[in-house]
Amino acid sequence: MRKSLTFFLSGVILAVAASTAVAGERVLEFKLVTKPIDLKVIEAANVEGQTVVSGKFFGVAVFNDGRIGVKEFVNASDLLKGSGPFFGYSTYTFEEGSITARYTGSAKDGKSTGEYTILSGTGAYANATGTGTIESAPNPFKGVNLLNIKLVVKTPGS
């Protein structure tokens, strides 16, 4: 009986250790350069400077160590003279898998901030959840956005 209990507990410990080895939390931080690829801007009637903007965008993520990823996303915003709320859905694709997330945020005085909610993932990020932040970065380029992104990715069991 004692040997059976020891064997059973050893099995349980091994199973827990194996599930935790696959599970975990990763923090991904990178610069993101985005560009609209299909943009629609609609001006509101009788409200000076009010626009509703929606479209598809593409982006390239660049990590400090040189790794890269790509981002495809849709975005919608409700802006009064360039300031206001925005939201969208993103899929980041990295070498080890992808992450899909919803984000919300706001733009004011040419700067953007926002938050991600991770909805799912594939590969190393299978069934991921988590959160993240978006913050605009100083941008010397015309026609593109430059952002600082931080994703806190949790995979099952963490």
- Give the pLDDT confidence of 44-94 residue by residue, as tens digits: 999 999 999 999 999 999 999 999 999 999 999 999 999 999 999 999 999
**How high is the pLDDT of residue 4?**
45
Domains of the chain: 25-43+50-154 (2.40.350.10)
Is the predicted pLDDT of residue 103 greater than 90, yes or no? yes
Residue 12 vs residues 7, 18, 137: alpha-carbon distances, Å: 9, 10, 48
Burial class of 128 by CB neighbour count within 10 A (0 to 12, 13 to 18, 19+): buried
Confidence of residue 157 (pLDDT cuts 50, 70, 90): low
pLDDT for residue 19 is more than 50: no
